Amino acid sequence: MAYKPFDLTGKVALVTGGNGGIGLGMADAMAQSGADVVIWGTNAAKNAAAEAQLKAHGRRVMVQKVDVADEAAVTAGMAEAVSKIGRVDTVIANAGVGGGAKSFAEFSTETYRRVLAVNLDGVFFTFREACKHMVERSGAGDKAGGSLIVTSSLSAIDGAARNEAYASTKGAVISMIRAIAVEHARYGVRANAVLPGWIATDMTAGAQGNDKFNDAVIKRVPFRRWGEPEDFGGIAVYLASDASRFHTGDSFLIDGGYAIF
């Protein structure tokens, strides 16, 4: 008999940046485990492809075009999702952008602001609206609680040269998660961070085909391979499920052992 707490039937998960990469890997695993899924993305073609993939699991799927850096769009998007699908039990703030420079001295303010707008402001807006909904549900007698998950990065704890803006946002969201976890535990809401290492996604496409990078970096990963979006399905299901009902304020490093080698 399957361990019942991992069953997500009756739960709804919203994933920002859920139309590709790690976000889609998480969304797909949760749909396979019984959850209905809402995905936010800004690319119409990727949204449509992700919708078709998720619907193949027989779950309800809602797709919204939401730019998480736009506060009004996030507020409206969350309200529409709750109104149309009924509730949101898990929110994964996964949408993110990269942006570096040849050196810190040459880092442009424009790039800095763009990275912060999506990777930090977007997480803040998304979780604020999610918490409003979950706290309101709690006040109405709904004891199901909720789960907030942010996609941080290995760069939050490992020096990421020439990527100071990106690393700063990924470190900041860990602090945000811990604060949310303490404040919202009384409402049954959990908040945790996932820190991916070197994962094969659109963001790392350039490095994947770089022999020098693969020889210098990926060979240092004890598993000797790039991570895949599917490698994040298990942690998403765990954190969305009742199996993690007493687990909050934590950070999960999923990097194939890179940081310890």
Go through the domains of the chain in sequence order and give each one's CATH number.
4-254 (3.40.50.720)
Query: Which residue out of 166, 187, 238, 258 is catalytically annotated?
Result: 166
Is 166 annotated as catalytic?
yes
How would residue 2 be classed by pLDDT, with cut points 50, 70 and 90?
Answer: confident
Chain-centre distance of CA 30, in angstroms? 13
Question: Does the structure show a pLDDT above 80 at 228?
Answer: yes
Nearest CA to 65 out of 85, 82, 45 is that of 45
H helix or E strand, kind and range, residue 169: helix 164-184
Alpha-helical regions (H) of 16-149: 21-32, 44-55, 71-85, 109-116, 122-139
Mean pLDDT of 99-106: 94
Distances in whole angstroms, Cα of residue 43 to Cα of each of 52, 78, 119: 14, 18, 17
Taking the complete model, does pTM exceed 0.75, yes or no? Answer: yes
pLDDT tens-place string over residues 83-100:
999 999 999 999 999 999
pLDDT tens-place string over residues 159-184:
999 999 999 999 999 999 999 999 99
Mean pLDDT of 175-200: 98
pLDDT score of 145: 93
- Distance, in Å, from the CA atom of 239 to the CA atom of 153, rounded to the nearest integer, reads 17
C-alpha angle 101-102-103 in degrees, rounded to nearest 5: 85
pLDDT tens-place string over residues 128-145:
999 999 999 999 999 999
Question: Does the structure show a pLDDT above 80 at 47?
Answer: yes
**Mean pLDDT for all residues in the chain:** 96
Tokens of 128: 């604020």
